[in-house]
Structures are given as structure tokens and as C-alpha cells.
């Protein structure tokens, strides 16, 4: 061990002497457990405020007739059996059968979903400890906090506690200074290869019609783009509704009571969800009374049907129990 390494060890041990007292640990852990159970039961945290609607669309009261989104060319279609997943400024296609979650929670339901790979976005908490630690799926990562995702060859895991035996792995990022990367783990090499081949940096909008940053507007089309952005403005998730669902969404959102004035709150932690050029929803933890949806330049109280359409499958956020959360999310 070099002098530096010895000094480092001493330094870390000395720093550890300043760790807090452990007297509150048990009580704090129990409090957290109770809180998590309450949150799990009610499926909730923060509040919903509202923003503005860059819309030129007229919505009738529940009347879908005549409610047409501006027609434009839809982005290129995705191969049957596959779907688009985006995060920040990269997008990939994954098999339609893949779910959502975290790759290190594959054993959370006693292993029932062990064979179902997931799309994993930063921000989800690890709930359980699985063995092996990671299951199959695509994990979006921020290279600034996880620097081990430079583009890599596809390789096969040769045993251990990290991944399923024989799993195929690879990492990809669009460049050395990129803000996003992916890590892929799949049971077979061909799937990894196909996902890597589909990966690209988003320029303009992704295949679901969503720009990589909240500053820009979603693409107009006959199908509604649903674009979710984090507090930093980066795209978190995108979705494009089918033509039928688009019409249903148009007829069902924005029927809450009109609200006078602006919400007047917001924070850097806001989550913004743009429903095409139709409406913009902002979820924030600092505006408990702001559960509203802005539509056609007016603010409405948020309804369960609004959120049903605004929250894409795999949505990983939370809302306060005061929010009219739908009984079921779209799948």
C-alpha cells in the first residue's frame, strides 16, 4: 500500500469519527417504514400545479367531434412488437413485452417477474435486495454520476452475483460529453444488438414526437404526444397515443371546474407533462392547492381522467393524497 493509500485510509477513518450518533436510527427506520406503507397504500406524494397551454385547439365539453389536433406528418413508425423509450436526449427501441421498474428489483414479487426485463429510469428507489443484484432490462444512466458507461462491446456475463448467468451486456452513449447513456442486459445477444442498433441521440423530437428538452414544443400530429420532463427540463419519458386514445383523451381531459387566477407556485423540482399542444401539467411538491390543468389558456381543477391520460405507463413519480389520482394507470 502506497503512502497515499495509507494516508487515505487514515483520513477516511478519521472522517468516520464524525458520523452522527446512532441513537435515533431504530425510531427513524420504523417511522420510515410506516410512512412508506401509507404511501404505498394510497399511491401518493406531492401536489399538482398547472401551467399554460400553448394551444390553438378548441375543446368542447366532452364533445370530441370537431376536436382535431393540427395534422402533420407523424414520425417514422417503430417495428411491430417494439416500442420507443426515451430519456434526456437519447432514445432506443425495446421489445413491447418489456415492463417498467428498476433492474435491481426483479425479485420484488418473489421472482414472478424475474423473466420480464424492465426499462429503468434514474430516480426510482431500490426496495429490495435481489440475488443476483441486477435482472434484465435497459437502464438509462446519467454519466455524470455513473461514469462506467462508455460504449462497450457486447459481452457475456460469466457468472457471479451481479447479473443472471449467461446474460448479455453492453453500454452505449452518443458521445464522451453526453448527458445520458444506456446499459443493456438481455438473455440473448441478438436483443442487445438490436437495442444498441436502435439507440440514437434525439435531434428535434424523438419518434414519439417529444423534444429532448421542455423548452421546445412536442410535434403536432394526429396522435397525441405525451412528454414528461423533470425539474431540470430534460425529457424523462415519452409516449404517443393511438388515434383512438387520442380522441378519447381529447374528449375526457379538462372537464374540471374553471379556476380563476394563476397558481403562483412552482419549483425546480417540478415535473412537467405536455400533452401535445393541448395542455401542460406540472407536478410539484410545493403547491398542495394547485391541482389544476391548463387548457386552451384556462385553468381547470385537475380530475382523475386528466391524470389518467397524463401519466404514461411506467410513470415513476408520486402525488400527494390531495391529488385526484386515478384508480388505475394506463398499461
The burial class, CB within 10 Å (0-12 / 13-18 / 19+), for 278 is buried
Q: Which residues make up the interface to another protein (CB under 8 A)?
A: 4-5, 7-20, 22, 24-26, 28-33, 36, 104, 122-129, 132-134, 142, 144-148, 160-163, 231-232, 268-269
CA distance 74 to 173: 26
Residue 131 or residue 328: which is nearer to another protein going by CB? 131
- Distance in Å, CB of 33 to another protein, minimum: 4
Tell me if 143 sits within 8 A of 162, measured CB to CB: no
Q: Is the peptide bond before 121 cis (omega within 30 degrees of 0)?
A: no
Looking at the Cβ atoms of 149 and 223, the one nearer to another protein is 149
Shortest reach from residue 180's CB to another protein, in Å: 13
Query: Looking at the chain, which runs of residues are DSSP E strands?
Result: 47-50, 82-87, 90-95, 99-100, 118-120, 137-141, 155-156, 168-172, 181-186, 200-201, 225-229, 235-240, 258-259, 271-275, 279-284, 292-295, 298-301
Q: How far is the CB of 264 from another protein (least distance, A)?
A: 22
Q: How far is the CB of 75 from another protein (least distance, A)?
A: 30
Q: Smaller CB distance to another protein: residue 10 or 97?
A: 10
For residue 321, what are the contacts with CB-CB under 8 A and spacing of at least 6? Answer: 42, 44
Exposed/middle/buried for 271, CB within 10 Å: 0-12, 13-18, 19+?
buried
Residue (124 or 265) nearer to another protein, CB: 124
Nearer to another protein, 168 or 309 (CB): 168
Q: Are strands 118-120 and 99-100 parallel, antiparallel or unpaired?
A: parallel
Q: Which is nearer to another protein, 36 or 115 (CB)?
A: 36
Smallest separation, CB 77 to another protein (Å): 33
Find the shortest distance in angstroms from Cβ 59 to another protein. 35
- Compute the least distance from the CB of residue 4 to another protein, in Å: 6
Nearer to another protein, 116 or 133 (CB): 133
With beta carbons less than 8 A apart as the criterion, state whether 40 and 170 touch.
no
Q: What count of Cα atoms within 13 Å lies in the side-chain half-sphere of residue 246? A: 20
Which ranges constitute the DSSP H helices of the chain? 3-16, 25-42, 189-198, 243-252, 304-310
Question: 47-50 and 279-284: which strand pairing?
Answer: antiparallel
Q: Residue 75's closest CA among 309, 240, 282?
A: 240
Q: Supply the minimum distance, in Å, between the C-beta of residue 309 and another protein.
A: 26
Q: Which is nearer to another protein, 205 or 212 (CB)?
A: 212
Amino acid at each position: 500500500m502506497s503512502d497515499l493509500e495509507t494516508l487515505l485510509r487514515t483520513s477516511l477513518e478519521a472522517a468516520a469519527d464524525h458520523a452522527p450518533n446512532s441513537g435515533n436510527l431504530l425510531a427513524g427506520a420504523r417511522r420510515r417504514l410506516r410512512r412508506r406503507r401509507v404511501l404505498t397504500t394510497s399511491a401518493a406524494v406531492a401536489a399538482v400545479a398547472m401551467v399554460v397551454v400553448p394551444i390553438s385547439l378548441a375543446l368542447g365539453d366532452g364533445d370530441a367531434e370537431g376536436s382535431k389536433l393540427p395534422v402533420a406528418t407523424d414520425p417514422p413508425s417503430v417495428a411491430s412488437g417494439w416500442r420507443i423509450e426515451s430519456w434526456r436526449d437519447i432514445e432506443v427501441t425495446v421489445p413491447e413485452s418489456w415492463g417498467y421498474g428498476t433492474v435491481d428489483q426483479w425479485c420484488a414479487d418473489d421472482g414472478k417477474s424475474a423473466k420480464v426485463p424492465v426499462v429503468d429510469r434514474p430516480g426510482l428507489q431500490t426496495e429490495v435486495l435481489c440475488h443476483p443484484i441486477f435482472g434484465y432490462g435497459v437502464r438509462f444512466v446519467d454519466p455524470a454520476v455513473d461514469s462506467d458507461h462508455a460504449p462497450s462491446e457486447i459481452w457475456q456475463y460469466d457468472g457471479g452475483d451481479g447479473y443472471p448467468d449467461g446474460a448479455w451486456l453492453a453500454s452505449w452513449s452518443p458521445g464522451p460529453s453526453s448527458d445520458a447513456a444506456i446499459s443493456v442486459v438481455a438473455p440473448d445477444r441478438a436483443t442487445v444488438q438490436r437495442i444498441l442498433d436502435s439507440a440514437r441521440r434525439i435531434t428535434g423530437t424523438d419518434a414519439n414526437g417529444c423534444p429532448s428538452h421542455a423548452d421546445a414544443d412536442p410535434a403536432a400530429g394526429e396522435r397525441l404526444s405525451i412528454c414528461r420532463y423533470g425539474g431540470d427540463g430534460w425529457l424523462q419519458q415519452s409516449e404517443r397515443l393511438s388515434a383512438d386514445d387520442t380522441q378519447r383523451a381529447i374528449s375526457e381531459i379538462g372537464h374540471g371546474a374553471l379556476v380563476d387566477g394563476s397558481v403562483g407556485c412552482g419549483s425546480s423540482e417540478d415535473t412537467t407533462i405536455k400533452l401535445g399542444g393541448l395542455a401542460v401539467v406540472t407536478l410539484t411538491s410545493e403547491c398542495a392547492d394547485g391541482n389544476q390543468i391548463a387548457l386552451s389558456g384556462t385553468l381547470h381543477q385537475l380530475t382523475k381522467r386528466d391524470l389518467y391520460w397524463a401519466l404514461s405507463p411506467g410513470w415513476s413519480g408520486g402525488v400527494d393524497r390531495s391529488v385526484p389520482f386515478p384508480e388505475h394507470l394506463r398499461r
